[in-house]
């Protein structure tokens, strides 16, 4: 009797010690790598060069994509970012002292980017891509801070996130961070050129390309080992193609072609549509040719993985005949009778579908999106008056879109798996 | 260096032969999927005609979709990555089209509904503070340059839905939002009567919008320059 009580007491004590140790470990993992917070909001004096530099960096980081709501004041936040765990609302980055970052110090802003913690000590949700921004240099962080502090203050209270239990708890977030986040610094690779290192820095940190182009695990964390190898964007059902295989055209395209896509939104082989159209429109078209060239050089050097070995399905003759008829009626006038694309006086305006990487992706999600919703590539200095694709979601049934896309994926030497009506329904 | 590379990339764009017309009409092909060929509307019954609307009105609508004052996912998706310059060019293009109208889609409506609709359009309802439609949309209801739309030749369903959207805040215009005020003054029966009358009017000649508006306007309108 006495002995069993003793054993029980020992077990309780041991469990408590273990629990405390885990809590301490999680806490330590969350706070490691933090610099002391020196100075306050009043000790930061921005130079004009910092403000100009910060404006450019804010483009490179595409801060406004999330922190400016549709029709809202610039950088005043309020836009909802839908995630599989609920909606995260972007915060007010204007220098309003009460609702924005007007009372923040440069060190607190740096800690938010580098360590993912807010000025008040709260852990931030990684919908704010600090797993990437952690590698931003202190000098760039200060320039961004200077630029944001130069904006018009807007008094707009941050909306609380709408996350499902238990994701809304700081303790859950602490565990996530202990498992999946560690602060980092961009370490230049000495064997590589200065340009390559500049490209790597822009792609990995500010550009946060991995936020879409890397696969995520069940907890929403991107996987370093599969960096930029492609990922389905949560809830949007757009697939961000792999940048380390032929999927996105990085492997088999020239650096100039990669650069042209980022700068103008269109090349002879592909156009930026969907989420990438927004990236080009708001961010990459404004980057200097040197920076775009550096990004292209870095991307071209990524370890290459062979593309999916696409086994052509045995083509059903009736389906192909129906698909060909639909293609002639709806697509051939622009994309050509044999999927060769359509040219205007200044080059390609309707991309070729024969050999088109977007058409041939293992997942048909993007192709279905484009057929159903249509769309225009972004207006850019290099393509100020883009041609567009009509939305066929109203005029064609799911079955017809399945047959049409199956035909396009199997014609003119294309060999990608067929598309079912269920695929269309799921991707709509 | 990179600039040279970019230039050589476009030079390398041999690709397909140049067969696609370098025109706005060709660029705006996607619009026809809903708005009909050249934006002249269809018999489908919902999507509005855009051909021949005043350019200022069309630009305001494109901007409204881009900035969330109007909500229709396809429209938002189409315009959200477009520059102001391109939106103006698009608005000017559709405004420049003077195309024949199809016969009215509303036929055989009840006489009392038609009468109520016409009375509201021509005279408003002074007892309830409702201005006549013609005070802003022109005596012929064909719009007033540069930014007040004509309302003839639109589907009845579209007209009814716009009033509904204004009442619920789904559709907004630049503040002060005069049509939101009008929409809340009208009863549901008023709205259907006005929509019925408007959509029952034949439009024989492509109606030009009127040049000037009698001032002052009955209500302040943010979308109409003062």
How far from B15 is each of A186, A257, B38, B221, CA to CA, in Å? 40, 14, 28, 50
Looking at CA atoms only, how far is residue B95 from chain A in angstroms?
A: 18
User: Residue B86 and residue A385: Cβ atoms within 8 Å?
Assistant: yes
Structural domains of chain B, count = 2
Question: Which chain A residues are closer than 8 Å to B2 by Cβ?
Answer: 259, 289-290, 292-293
Same domain membership, residue B121 and residue B90: no
User: ipTM for the complex?
Assistant: 0.93
pLDDT at B128: 95
Same domain membership, residue B197 and residue B145: yes
Q: Which long-range contacts (CB under 8 A, 24 or more apart) does B108-116 make?
A: B109/B196, B109/B197, B109/B200, B113/B192, B113/B193, B113/B196, B113/B197, B114/B193, B114/B196, B114/B197, B114/B200, B116/B189, B116/B190, B116/B193
Same domain membership, residue B185 and residue B159: yes
**Which segments within A176-292 are labelled E, that is strand?**
231-232, 239-240
Q: Which of 310-369 (A) contact B at CB < 8 A?
A: 334, 336, 340-350, 352
Predicted TM-score of the model (pTM): 0.92
**Tens digits of per-residue pLDDT, A370-382?**
999 999 999 999 9
> Do A81 and A88 meet the contact criterion of CB atoms below 8 Å apart?
yes
Question: Average model confidence (pLDDT) for chain A?
Answer: 94
Residue in B with minimal Cα distance to A279: B81
User: Residue B78 and residue A342: Cβ atoms within 8 Å?
Assistant: no
**Tens digits of per-residue pLDDT, B173-217?**
999 999 999 999 999 999 999 999 999 999 976 667 888 888 889
Task: Out of A136-150, A214-228, A413-427, B70-84, pick the least confident.
Answer: A214-228
**Tens digits of per-residue pLDDT, A251-277?**
778 899 999 999 999 999 999 999 999
Residue in B with minimal Cα distance to A392: B33
Task: Out of A93-102, A220-229, B145-154, pick the least confident.
Answer: A220-229
B68/A contact by beta carbon, under 8 A: yes
User: Residue A347 and residue B13: Cβ atoms within 8 Å?
Assistant: yes
* Domain range for B70: 25-98
**Tens digits of per-residue pLDDT, B32-65?**
999 999 999 988 889 999 999 999 999 999 999 9
Question: Which chain B residues are closer than 8 Å to A394 by Cβ?
Answer: 33-34
pLDDT at B207: 63
pLDDT band at residue B92, thresholds of 50, 70 and 90? very high
Question: Average model confidence (pLDDT) for chain B?
Answer: 90
B2 in any annotated domain: no
Same domain membership, residue B189 and residue B157: yes
Looking at the domain covering A317-427, what would its CATH class be?
Answer: mainly alpha
The yes/no answer on whether domain A194-300 falls in CATH 1.10.760 is: yes
pLDDT at B1: 38
pLDDT at B11: 37
Q: What is the CATH number of the domain that holds B33?
A: 1.10.760.10
Same domain membership, residue B120 and residue B91: no
Q: How far apart are CA B107 and CA B114, in angstroms?
A: 11
Which residues is A350 bridged to in the sheet? A342
Q: In this structure, what token pair is assigned to residue A255?
A: 């650096």
pLDDT band at residue B4, thresholds of 50, 70 and 90? very low
Share of chain A above pLDDT 70, in %: 97
Q: How far apart are CA B196 and CA B112, in angstroms?
A: 11
Same domain membership, residue B185 and residue B113: yes
DSSP string covering B36-93: -GGG---TTSSSPP-TT--HHHHHHHHHHHHTTSS--HHHHHHHTT--HHHHHHHHHH
A403/B contact by beta carbon, under 8 A: no
Same domain membership, residue B85 and residue B161: no
Q: In this structure, what token pair is assigned to residue A272?
A: 């930026």
Same domain membership, residue B119 and residue B205: yes
Q: What is the mean pLDDT of residues A165-175?
A: 96
User: Where a domain ends, among B98, B130, B156?
Assistant: B98
Q: In this structure, what token pair is assigned to residue A194?
A: 């200065």
pLDDT at A265: 97
Q: Which of 371-400 (A) contact B at CB < 8 A?
A: 373-379, 382, 384-392, 394-395
pLDDT at B13: 44
**Tens digits of per-residue pLDDT, A121-159?**
999 999 999 999 999 999 999 999 999 999 999 999 999
Q: What is the mean pLDDT of residues B129-143?
A: 95
Where does CATH 1.10.760.10 sit in chain A? 317-427
């Amino acid at each position: 009797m006495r002995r069993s009580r003793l054993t029980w007491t020992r077990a309780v004590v041991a469990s408590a010690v273990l629990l405390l140790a885990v809590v301490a470990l999680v806490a330590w993992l969350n706070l490691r790598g933090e610099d002391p917070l020196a100075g306050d909001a009043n000790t930061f004096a921005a130079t004009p060069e910092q403000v100009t530099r910060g404006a450019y960096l804010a483009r490179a980081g595409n801060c406004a994509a999330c922190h400016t709501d549709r029709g809202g004041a610039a950088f005043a936040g309020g836009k909802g970012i839908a995630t599989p765990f609920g909606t995260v609302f972007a915060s007010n980055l204007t220098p309003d002292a009460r609702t924005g970052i007007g009372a923040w110090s440069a060190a607190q802003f740096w800690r938010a980017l580098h360590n993912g913690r807010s000025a008040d000590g709260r852990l931030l949700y990684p919908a704010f891509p600090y797993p990437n921004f952690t590698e931003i240099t202190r000098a760039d962080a200060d320039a961004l801070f200077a630029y944001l502090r130069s904006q018009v203050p807007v008094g707009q209270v941050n909306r609380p996130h709408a996350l499902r239990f238990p994701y809304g708890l700081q303790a859950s977030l602490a565990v996530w961070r202990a498992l999946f986040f560690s602060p980092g610094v961009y370490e230049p690779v000495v064997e590589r050129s200065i340009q390559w290192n500049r490209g790597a820095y822009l792609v990995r940190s500010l550009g946060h390309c991995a936020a879409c182009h890397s696969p995520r695990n069940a907890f929403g964390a991107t996987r370093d080992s599969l960096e930029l190898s492609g990922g389905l964007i949560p809830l949007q059902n757009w697939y961000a193609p792999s940048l380390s295989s032929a999927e996105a055209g990085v492997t088999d395209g020239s650096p100039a072609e990669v650069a042209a896509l980022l700068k103008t939104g269109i090349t002879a082989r592909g156009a930026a549509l969907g989420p990438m159209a927004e990236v080009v429109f708001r961010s990459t078209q404004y980057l200097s040719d040197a920076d775009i060239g550096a990004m292209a050089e870095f991307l071209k050097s990524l370890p290459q993985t062979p593309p999916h070995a696409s086994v052509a399905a045995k083509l059903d003759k009736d389906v192909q005949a129906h698909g060909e008829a639909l293609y002639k009626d709806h697509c051939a006038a622009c994309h050509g009778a044999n999927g060769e694309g359509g040219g205007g006086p200044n080059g390609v305006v309707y991309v070729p579908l024969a050999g088109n990487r977007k058409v041939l992706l293992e997942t048909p999600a993007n192709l279905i999106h484009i057929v159903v919703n249509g769309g225009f590539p972004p207006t850019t200095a290099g393509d100020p008056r883009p041609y567009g694709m009509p939305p066929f979601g109203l005029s064609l049934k799911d079955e017809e879109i399945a047959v049409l896309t199956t035909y396009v994926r199997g014609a003119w030497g294309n060999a990608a798996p067929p598309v079912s009506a269920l695929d269309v329904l799921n991707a709509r | 260096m990179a600039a040279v590379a970019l230039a050589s990339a476009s030079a390398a764009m041999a690709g397909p032969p140049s067969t696609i017309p370098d025109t706005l009409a060709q660029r705006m092909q996607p619009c026809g999927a809903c708005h009909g060929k050249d934006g002249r509307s269809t018999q489908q019954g919902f999507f509005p005609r855009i051909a021949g609307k005043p350019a200022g009105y069309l630009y305001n609508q494109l901007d409204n979709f881009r900035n969330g004052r109007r909500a229709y996912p396809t429209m938002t998706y189409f315009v959200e990555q477009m520059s102001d310059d391109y939106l103006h060019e698009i608005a000017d293009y559709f405004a420049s089209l003077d195309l024949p109208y199809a016969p009215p889609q509303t036929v055989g409506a009840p006489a009392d509904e038609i009468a109520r609709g016409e009375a509201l359009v021509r005279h408003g309802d002074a007892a309830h503070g409702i201005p006549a439609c013609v005070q802003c949309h022109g005596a012929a209801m064909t719009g007033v340059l540069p930014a007040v739309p004509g309302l003839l030749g639109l589907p009845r369903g579209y007209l009814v839905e716009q009033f509904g959207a204004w009442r619920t805040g789904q559709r907004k215009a630049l503040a002060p939002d005069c049509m939101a005020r009008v929409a809340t003054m009208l009863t549901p029966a008023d709205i259907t009567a006005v929509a019925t009358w408007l959509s029952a009017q034949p439009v024989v000649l492509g109606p030009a919008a009127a040049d000037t508006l009698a001032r002052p306007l009955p209500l302040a309108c943010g979308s109409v320059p003062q």
